[in-house]
């Protein structure tokens, strides 16, 4: 693993690079045109405290990030929802995902969350194996519902 990795909270000036990583993730997930949230949308969400992000940097280059927010489980209480988690393809399998994920779990605990949730695609076996190594439960009986306006 490259030892020159810094994990830190995102700043407003990081938002364009973060959105770029989200677009990279959408391409990886075979949804290249799905990202319609603008940089202004990101800025408003950041300024109002709706979203938080941790970023991984190497020599000043943003190479990964997690984007998350507080929400509530009616069964468990306060929880952290991990909306996006991405490491640039050329930096994968170097332990950077471990650093980002572990820092995000630590943040959830610091926020007094009872659990952390996220989604993983059924065909993304690499991600599934990563989460299983982290002792996560991958639920396969719940289906997602959504309405896009």
Tell me if residue 91 is catalytic: no
3 state SS for the chain? CCCCEEEEECCHHHHHHHHHHHHHHHHHCCCCCCCCCCHHHHHHHHHCCCCEEEEEEECCEEEEEEEEEEEEECCCEEEEEEEEEEECHHHCCCCHHHHHHHHHHHHHHHCCCCEEECCCCCCCHHHHHHHHHCCCCCCCCCCCCCCCC
Catalytic residue among 42, 69, 81, 131: 131
Known catalytic residues? 131
């Amino acid at each position: 693993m490259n030892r020159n990795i810094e994990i830190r909270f995102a700043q407003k000036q990081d938002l364009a690079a973060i959105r770029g990583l989200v677009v990279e993730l959408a391409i990886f997930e075979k949804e290249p045109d799905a990202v319609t949230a603008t940089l202004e949308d990101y800025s408003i969400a950041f300024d109002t405290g709706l979203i938080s992000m941790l970023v991984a940097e190497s020599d000043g280059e943003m190479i990964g990030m997690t984007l998350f927010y507080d929400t509530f489980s009616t069964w468990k209480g306060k929880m952290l929802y991990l909306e996006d988690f991405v490491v640039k393809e050329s930096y994968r399998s170097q332990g950077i995902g471990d650093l980002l994920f572990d820092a995000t779990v630590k943040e959830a605990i610091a926020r007094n969350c009872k659990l952390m949730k996220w989604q993983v695609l059924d065909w993304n076996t690499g991600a599934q194996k990563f989460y299983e190594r982290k002792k996560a439960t991958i639920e396969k009986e719940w289906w997602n519902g959504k309405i896009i306006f």
